[in-house]
Amino acid sequence: MKWTIKERTTKKMSEFKAVGEVMITEEQIRARAKEIGAQITEEFKGEDIIVVGILKGALPWMADIIKCIDNENLIMDFMMVSSYGSGTKSSGQVRIVKDLDFVIDGKNVVIIEDIVDSGITLNYLKGYLAQRNAKAVRICTLLDKPTGRKVDLEADYVGFEVPDAFIVGYGLDFDQRYRQLPYISFLKQD
């Protein structure tokens, strides 16, 4: 599904000065979570699922997705990773800051992310979880920015494809701020 610019439908937040036009509304995100949650439910019918949220950006999207997965054996876990490198771009070296609490041997893992950009983080995590003998590893991302890709990585479940722009909200930050916005917005450049 491609991104579309929508008018702000609800005014739940002040007009933060660095936050620009709304790109994706909360309503659109919730609707997409329902669709993707139903697909994940179907794929893992009768099986276990470990949903692994990648802190911190995945939090709001994960909260939506888990409520839409109809599976009695779903459990949640979290990882936190950081990329070495200068500036805003990944260097290719990923470091685990917080590892899984659960053993995933023989289990189905669904990684939840806010965005796939270069693909470096997810490529690393996919390999790491496969090495730990997960039965299946799927990637479910709210946003996919294919123009940023540096490695060959495709997410299995994508909420919205986004263009090469600096965006914030719904978990995505600028200098750790704006994660709490209940929509995806452009960041003002000035």
Contacts to ligand PRP by CB under 6 A: 54, 56-57, 83, 90, 113-122, 173
- Compare residues 33 and 122 and give the one whose CB is closer to ligand PRP: 122
Least distance to ligand PRP, CB of residue 116, Å: 5
Smallest distance from the beta carbon of 95 to ligand PRP, in angstroms? Answer: 11
- Nearer Cβ to ligand PRP, position 38 or 63? 63
Measured from each CB, the residue nearest to ligand PRP is: 57
Q: Choose, from 64, 114, 117, 144, the residue flagged as catalytic.
A: 117
Please write down the HEC assignment for all residues of 123-184: HHHHHHHHHCCCCEEEEEEEEECHHHCCCCCCCCEEEEECCCCCEEECCECECCECCCCCCE
Distance CA(178)–CA(13), nearest Å, equals 11
Instruction: Give min distance, CB of 117 to ligand PRP, in A.
Output: 4
State the DSSP H helix or E strand holding residue 19, giving kind and residue range, or none if neither: strand 19-24
Q: Which is nearer to ligand PRP, 37 or 57 (CB)?
A: 57
Q: Is 117 a catalytic residue?
A: yes
**Active-site residue set:** 117
